[in-house]
Amino acid sequence: MKEPLRITVTGAAGQIGYAMLFRIASGEMLGTDQPVILQLLEIPPAMNALEGVVMELQDCAFPLLRGVVSTSQPEEAFSGADFVLLVGARPRGPGMERKDLLEANGAIFTGQGKAINDYASKNVKVLVVGNPANTNCLIAVNNAKDLNPEQFSSMTILDHNRAIALLAERTGVHIDEVQNLAVWGNHSATMFPELLSASVGDTPALELVTFDWYRDQFIPKVQQRGAEIIRARGSSSAASAANAAIQHMRLWSLGTRTITSMGIVSCGDYDITEGIVYSFPVTCGAGKIEIDKSRSLDDFCVERMRLTERELLEERDAIKHLL
């Protein structure tokens, strides 16, 4: 049997945490031969709720679950962590501007970046889910001075999955026939789900749908899907977000040659400003995320990619004192 790996989840008593922990403990993230220890971080007011979650984890008697730590101390939660899922974040409150939200989360992700740097495994892989995810990830990376920026990423696989599902529905095919789609930029309403390189079976996607549908319906629908779910459910997506986070970590650690989308620190590929956390089309191999550098993009793509890049640059400017 393999040695257990330590997985830290922050905001573990929240909606996404609740939809995620039981699946991680059952082996869906790292494989059914990989024992795990869960290290759960919450803020003090949520510790009671977290205790309830821990009791439910115990009551599942998962054979792979070799221990559960629940704590409100970051140094304890990140100690020896092999994988970190930063889910907890400050939600936007009444009257709060985007700038206030960035500021409130800035404090959380500065501290967590430093604690990961000081207490986690030197090979840790960190995924940021809590919003604004790209910029929270940027703050965490910049505060983990001894770690490689390649050890950090932010989640856009849910947006990628939403785009695949929408195109498959429109063209009347199964999900697995849609290939090579990409989501670029920020996990926000400026994200750019791109179809120029996508295919459905052996046919280019843009031969099967009209450009008007792509621009006027597909792109806005993917961008607004989170808001659509909030309107229908009365609260934000949780199960699909948890599913995407598990998928992100599984692909990153176990590898995939299928293109997906992840937010990573830009090294200037596709002319995107170096240093910002931007979603690119990627594959994963040997525990590393690799950008698909083979795409030819047209003026429409470049314009959309610049728009979402501009938003990320504005977010970076708002928190530059934290970097």
Question: Could you write out the three-class secondary structure of 236-304?
Answer: CCCHHHHHHHHHHHHHHHHCEEEEEEEEEECCCHHHCCCCCEEEEEEEEECCEEEECCCCCCCHHHHHH
Are the beta carbons of 137 and 150 closer than 8 angstroms? no
- Minimum CB separation of residue 89 from ligand NDP in Å reads 3
3-state class of 71 per DSSP? Answer: strand
Figure out which of the listed residues 10, 110, 135, 161 binds ligand NDP, where binding follows CB under 6 A: 10
Are the beta carbons of 107 and 144 closer than 8 angstroms? no
Q: Select which of 174, 187, 248, 321 is catalytic.
A: 187
- Minimum CB separation of residue 235 from ligand NDP in Å reads 7
Which span (12-20, 26-34, 204-212, 304-312) binds ligand NDP, by CB under 6 A? 12-20
Binding mask 164-203 toward ligand NDP (x if CB under 6 A, else -) reads: ----------------------------------------
First-to-last alpha carbon distance for the chain, in angstroms, is 42
Q: Does 16 bind ligand NDP (CB under 6 A)?
A: yes
Q: Does 151 bind ligand NDP (CB under 6 A)?
A: no
Number of residues that bind ligand NDP (CB under 6 A): 27
Q: Does 204 bind ligand NDP (CB under 6 A)?
A: no
Distance (Å, whole) CA 306 – CA 20 = 33
User: Taking the CB of residue 298, how many other CB atoms lie within 10 A of it?
Assistant: 9
Cis peptide before 63 (omega within 30 of 0): no
- Minimum CB separation of residue 63 from ligand NDP in Å reads 27
- Minimum CB separation of residue 247 from ligand NDP in Å reads 12
Q: Does 88 bind ligand NDP (CB under 6 A)?
A: yes
Q: Does 70 bind ligand NDP (CB under 6 A)?
A: no
Which span (37-45, 202-210, 272-280, 300-308) binds ligand NDP, by CB under 6 A? 37-45
Distance (Å, whole) CA 193 – CA 160 = 7
CB-based closest residue to ligand NDP: 14
Angle at 223 between CA 88 and CA 42, to 5 degrees: 5
Distance (Å, whole) CA 299 – CA 54 = 51
Q: Does 101 bind ligand NDP (CB under 6 A)?
A: no
Nearer to ligand NDP, 48 or 203 (CB): 48
Q: Does 133 bind ligand NDP (CB under 6 A)?
A: yes
Q: What's the one-letter identity of residue 100?
A: D
Which span (38-46, 258-266, 282-290, 295-303) binds ligand NDP, by CB under 6 A? 38-46
Are the beta carbons of 164 and 178 closer than 8 angstroms? yes
* Nearest Cα to Cα of residue 154 among 72, 85, 67, 55: 85
Q: Does 87 bind ligand NDP (CB under 6 A)?
A: yes
Distance (Å, whole) CA 38 – CA 232 = 32
Annotated catalytic residue 248: no
Q: What's the one-letter identity of residue 39?
A: Q
Nearer to ligand NDP, 166 or 205 (CB): 166
Figure out which of the listed residues 54, 209, 238, 307 binds ligand NDP, where binding follows CB under 6 A: 238
Residues forming the active site: 187
Kindly list the residues in this chain that would bind ligand NDP in the complex (CB under 6 A). 10-11, 13-17, 41-43, 46, 87-91, 108, 129-131, 133, 158, 226, 236-238, 241
